[in-house]
């Protein structure tokens, strides 16, 4: 559980071997040693356009953010790979502080765009990425990391949204959801929320519902959780192909919904 009090909180760039070994140990504690990024990789990255930001309470490393350069054949961008906050300090907005520090450093280093992926069914991450940070997304990757066996991902295809975030803060474009159409409703079956029948909506603003807690649903019914994954997989890529982008993440009844607007002409 999070909530430990913070004293003399600082965020700074980490560059030495000793510092990056400490980062490895923190990530290994959160996940495991096999999945943690080895120090020889982070050391190489920080010498070649990447960086690691460390967050300290007093002199204790309690979180970090690791990024490296990305290239899609046309544009260079900053690939945001890992963000970790120690469990003792979670649920205090520290992840958002690390992201804002990342944004400032990215701009200082000359990056115009930051990209990363996350599970579109994880509500906490969606709220941070798309509402608090005001990032956007119009790319969906099916089973991006293959089969994973950790507690969060086990039993589910690792589908991911690709998030794009400008390194220079821009005013949020206010989008009215009045009159917006939900692509499918949320229904209750055996007291479990599930997506209802998909509608072929063509409104200027669309809503794609997301359960409040996919992990709670997984605990009760793996089949229901997989249904959410497959329905989102069938809905989001076609909407992106039609020119829609996710621009926000807002409450929708007792759950949430992605807010999509059409920002470019239909793609063939």
β partners of residue 76? 71
Return the bridge partners of 10, or none.
56
Residue 200 confidence class, pLDDT cut points 50, 70, 90 = confident
> What's the pLDDT at 264?
47
HSE of 63 in the Cβ direction (CA atoms, 13 Å)? 27
**Which residues does residue 77 pair with via DSSP β-bridges, in sequence order?**
70
Read off the pLDDT of residues 244-267 as tens digits, 9 standing for 90 and up: 999 999 999 999 999 999 864 444
What domains are there in the chain, each with its CATH number? 9-166 (3.40.630.30), 181-262 (no CATH)
Q: Residues 24-82: pLDDT tens digits?
A: 999 999 988 988 999 999 999 999 999 999 999 988 999 999 999 999 999 999 999 99
Query: Any idea which of 9-13, 135-139, 201-205 has the lowest mean pLDDT?
Result: 201-205
Buried b (16+ CB within 10 A) or exposed e, 177-189: eeebebbbebeee
Total Cβ atoms within 10 A of residue 112: 13
pLDDT at 1: 44
Q: What's the rounded Cα separation, in Å, for the pair 267 and 45?
A: 36
**Mean pLDDT of all residues in the chain?**
91
């Amino acid at each position: 559980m999070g909530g430990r009090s913070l004293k003399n909180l600082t965020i700074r760039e980490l560059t030495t071997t000793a510092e990056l070994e400490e980062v490895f140990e923190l990530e290994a504690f959160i996940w495991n040693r096999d999945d943690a990024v080895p120090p020889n990789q982070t050391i190489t990255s920080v010498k070649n356009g990447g960086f690691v930001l460390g967050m300290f309470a007093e002199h204790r490393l309690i979180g970090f953010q690791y990024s490296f350069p990305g290239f899609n054949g046309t544009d260079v961008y900053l690939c945001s790979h890992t963000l970790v906050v120690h469990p003792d300090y979670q649920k205090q907005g520290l992840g958002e502080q690390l992201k804002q520090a990342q944004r400032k450093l990215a701009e200082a280093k000359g990056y115009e765009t930051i990209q990363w992926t996350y599970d579109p069914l994880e509500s906490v991450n969606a709220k941070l990425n798309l509402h608090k940070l005001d990032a956007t997304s119009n790319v969906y990757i099916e089973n991006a990391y293959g089969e994973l066996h950790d507690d969060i991902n086990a039993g589910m295809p690792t589908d991911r949204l690709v998030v794009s975030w400008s390194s220079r803060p821009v005013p949020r474009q206010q989008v009215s959801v009045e009159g917006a159409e939900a692509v499918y409703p949320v229904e209750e079956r055996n007291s479990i929320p599930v997506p209802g029948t998909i509608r072929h909506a063509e409104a200027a603003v669309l809503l794609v519902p997301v359960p409040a807690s996919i992990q709670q649903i997984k605990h009760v019914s793996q089949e229901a959780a997989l249904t959410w994954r497959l329905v989102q997989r069938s809905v989001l890529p076609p909407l992106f192909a039609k020119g829609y982008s996710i621009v926000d993440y807002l409450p929708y009844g007792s759950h949430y919904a992605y807010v999509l607007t059409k920002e470019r002409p239909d793609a063939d």
